Structure 1
């Protein structure tokens, strides 16, 4: 009976301990349209009605996180976490994002579809990238060590990729697409009207949508072909 009671107590204590170990920090921020993120940890972008930052971590990291508003730009940085082995998730809610720069050790992804007119993305990450976007004009530069996944749509898109990993953008429906590929990995693209390809990387390139090929320059290894 005592052993059974002790076991039940342990079962109650363990979940409580796990919940207590997850520290949540809510940070109030002002309005911004530009984002500069240089962090250790996973980053999640959410489009919502009010800008905010929420950090969930396995311990209190408030002394290691710097969040700063400067004009239209929000900067989120971590300091002193070079040997960080815990868990940290950074949730950033935006209303209207036009420019975003990421330099992160961790995955970067959207939690819902980011919508807008013009979006400039620059991502230098050690982790996977997963964006769902709906915009008129996208200019993106990816140099990650990890896979890049894009979905959504754009009237015009220019993508530079030097990542080590596969690029899965077959579900990102651009009307006019201009890509410059120098990474290592296979690439899948979609263009509904027109596509220009400058390829000097390693891996096969497949494009969907039956577009007109306006320009094709290939210097790397692999095959460029329609689906």
Structure 2
């Protein structure tokens, strides 16, 4: 009986040790810092998770599995940076648990483009004057921002979720993409929606809209509506 009890204790200890090793292997992350400066645009792709924060400094940190972060490339082009995997690298391996998180702190940001299954989040609120936002290829973007003018292009099954406000907004949506902007209040908007895309917006003063190809535009607010198409395959609806 004593031997059996001791064996059970030893087995329990071994199992606990194995589980501990597994836990630390799964959740342990490595990081790599990349020097960046003097940029106001960001492009991200390859299924990377991008975490944004506006501040008084500029920095970029890559976190994830050691075997994967070495293949992440950060390139500077004029006033923009692009974040992606090296050419020829099969980034689909991220779906095997090797997720990459990139943390970027910026002083100012005027443009953001996400593609190839990338996800973008922001810590706090982005404040800028003019902003260009693009999402394609199944990318997901969630932003809280305040600006004067914003231009949005969303396509290829991408999703954009916005909170905040602007004076003027221009939207082009297609290819089954979604724009959820009921919590993003603007004064004036121009919207062109096609190819099964869905656009939800909040407009206070004036809305010029076109919907075709099974697309839907739903708007809240007291905007005066001007339709620029008579297509029966698209819907423009006011919601309370």
CA deviation digits over 1:74-106, x for unaligned, max 9? 232322333532212222222111123333323
Higher strand share: 1
Judge conservation of contact 1:41–1:89 (CA < 8 Å) in 2.
yes
Q: What TM-score results when the alignment is normalised by the length of structure 2?
A: 0.83
Judge conservation of contact 2:157–2:178 (CA < 8 Å) in 1.
no
Among 8, 17, 22, the alignment partner of 1:14 is 22
Higher helix share: 2
Deviates more, 1:216-225 or 1:116-125: 216-225
Q: Figure out how many residues of one structure are paired with residues of the other and give that number.
A: 226
Q: What TM-score results when the alignment is normalised by the length of structure 1?
A: 0.87
Deviates more, 1:11-20 or 1:146-155: 11-20
Deviation, 1:153, is 0.6
Q: Which runs of 5+ in 2 are unaligned?
A: 1-8
* Alignment match, 1:81: 89
The whole-number CA distance in structure 2 between the counterparts of 1:15 and 1:166 is 37
- Judging changes above 3 Å, is the alpha-carbon distance between structure 1 residues 33 and 100 closer, same or farther for their aligned structure 2 residues? same
Q: Which runs of 5+ in 1 are unaligned?
A: none
Runs of 4+, deviation exceeding 4 Å: none
- Judging changes above 3 Å, is the alpha-carbon distance between structure 1 residues 29 and 155 closer, same or farther for their aligned structure 2 residues? same
The whole-number CA distance in structure 2 between the counterparts of 1:185 and 1:133 is 23
SS, match of residue 147 in structure 2 = strand
Q: RMSD of the TM alignment (CA)? A: 2.2
Deviation, 1:222, is 4.0
* Alignment match, 2:65: 58
- Please identify the structure whose Cα radius of gyration is greater: 2
